[in-house]
């Protein structure tokens, strides 16, 4: 498949380990923070979001943590699988609707 | 499969030309978004339409324009193309109730020679 070819930060983990992907966001006024996953040759895919008045939200095998004090967002993936290999983007938006501001992205590589 | 379709998948053209990228949103989604993904700028929001009307604008160049038609499909027009316009262009759609969960199409890879 195609790749964008960005020089992204990379995280390499062993299958079965937990992964933590970090993101620094820019706008204190953002109302929602979202994680997207982009596999090679595909468009981004929504994973999970969190409102600005929360500090933790859990989904299936994923947890998002929000620290507004230091404008930091993280995505934890439990028991990482080869299918989790992708580029992960954090994004932020406001209640005004729609416009997603994406971070740089982190490439996750899972070794079997 | 996100349910969002984009055509064409690949487009190769020359500088100075004009192209049109087409997007069909998921059934029932009223919002359509366009994003550009390039090597140096990452994923950037261009423009959003909601039920035929422009809702939000990002760093979209004046050479670029978009519209959403009554059947909710959208087109992104890129004119006076430059080498730097080479990128992946994604369309996304979302239901009115959830702007955060945007469903992205497979993208159109534009190469300007």
Q: Do A94 and A103 form a contact (C-beta atoms < 8 A)?
A: no
A39-92, pLDDT tens digit by residue?
999 999 999 999 999 999 999 999 999 999 999 999 999 999 999 999 999 999
* pLDDT tens-digit map of B43-82: 999 999 999 999 999 989 999 999 999 999 999 999 999 9
- Locate the domains of chain A by residue range: 4-111
Give the fold, CATH level 3, of A4-111.
Answer: Immunoglobulin-like (2.60.40)
Is-contact A52 A31, C-beta < 8 A? Answer: yes
* Whole-number average pLDDT of chain B: 95
Task: Return the closest-CA partner of residue B34 out of B99, B95, B93.
Answer: B93
pLDDT for position A8: 82
Q: Confidence band (pLDDT; 50, 70, 90) for B99?
A: confident
Lookup result for tokens 């989904």:
A59
pLDDT of residue A5: 45
Nearest CA in chain B to A6: B39
Pair B90, B105: CB distance under 8 Å: yes
Are B24 and B32 contacting, i.e. CB atoms less than 8 angstroms apart?
A: no
Closest C-alpha to A91, from A58, A57, A66, A62: A66
Please give the residue of chain B at the shortest CA–CA distance from A37.
B104
Q: Please state, as a whole number, how many other Cβ atoms lie within 10 Å of the Cβ of residue B37.
A: 22
Of all residues in chain B, the one with the smallest CA distance to A31 is B100
Report the residue from A5, A32, A97 with minimal CB separation from B39: A5
Handedness of CA B3, B1, A96, B20 (dihedral sign): negative
Best B45, B58, B100 member to test A by mutation, with max A CBs in 10 Å, is B100
User: What's the whole-number average pLDDT of chain A?
Assistant: 91
- CA distance to partner chain A, nearest, from residue B80 (Å): 23
């Amino acid at each position: 498949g195609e790749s964008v070819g960005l020089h992204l930060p990379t995280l390499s983990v062993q299958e079965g380990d937990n992964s933590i992907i970090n993101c620094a966001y820019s706008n204190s006024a953002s109302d929602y923070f979202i994680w997207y996953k982009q596999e090679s040759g595909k468009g981004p895919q929504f994973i999970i979001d969190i409102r600005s008045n929360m500090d933790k939200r859990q989904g299936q095998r994923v947890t998002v943590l929000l620290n507004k004090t230091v404008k930091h967002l993280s995505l934890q993936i439990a028991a990482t699988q080869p299918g989790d290999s992708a580029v992960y983007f954090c994004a932020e938006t406001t209640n005004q609707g729609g416009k997603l501001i994406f971070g740089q992205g982190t490439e996750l590589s899972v070794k079997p | 499969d996100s349910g969002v379709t984009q055509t064409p998948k690949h487009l190769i053209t020359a500088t100075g030309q004009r192209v049109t990228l087409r997007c069909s949103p998921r059934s029932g989604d009223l919002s359509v978004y366009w994003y550009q993904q390039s090597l140096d700028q990452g994923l950037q929001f261009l423009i959003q339409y909601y039920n035929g009307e422009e809702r939000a604008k990002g760093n979209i160049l004046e050479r670029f324009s978009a519209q959403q038609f009554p059947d909710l499909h959208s087109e992104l027009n890129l004119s006076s193309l430059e080498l730097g316009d080479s990128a992946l262009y994604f369309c996304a759609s979302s239901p009115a109730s959830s702007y955060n969960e945007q469903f992205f199409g497979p993208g159109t890879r534009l190469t300007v020679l």
